[in-house]
Amino acid sequence: MVTIDVLVTPRASRAKLGPMHDGRLKVAVTAPPVDGEANAAVIELIAKALGVAKRDVEVTAGASSRRKTVRVTGVSRALVEARLSVELPR
């Protein structure tokens, strides 16, 4: 299980992961921040990038904030860092 702190930009022109900003992974999604649409888009984008099922990605903190904590199960820290091309804070 790996925990990732993210900074979400909703209503972006295109979905994108990275780079790191102040220890948080920047995540841009095209979905608006209403009715959980942005959270669902973040989960889908991270799951696709890591090659895991959406059920293995969960927003554990900050559901109504741009600053979120996401937990990914079934992957190692090294795999997350390699696939997302980032270095996560320890």
What confidence tens digit (pLDDT) does each residue in 8-59 have?
A: 999 999 999 989 989 899 999 999 999 999 999 999 999 999 999 999 999 9
Residue 73 within any structural domain of the chain:
yes
* pTM score, whole prediction: 0.94
CATH number, domain of 39, equals 3.30.1200.10
Residue 90 within any structural domain of the chain:
no
Cβ–Cβ < 8 Å for 43, 64: no
Q: Cβ-count burial of 33 within 10 angstroms (0-12 exposed, 13-18 middle, 19+ buried)?
A: middle
- Residue 28: predicted pLDDT: 97
Residue 9 within any structural domain of the chain:
yes
Residue 63 within any structural domain of the chain:
yes
Alpha-carbon dihedral sign for residues 70, 71, 76, 79:
negative
Residue 6 within any structural domain of the chain:
yes
Per the structure, the complete domain to which residue 24 belongs is given by 2-84
For the chain, what is the domain count? 1
Residue 78 within any structural domain of the chain:
yes
Cβ–Cβ < 8 Å for 60, 3: yes
In the DSSP assignment, the letter for residue 2 is E
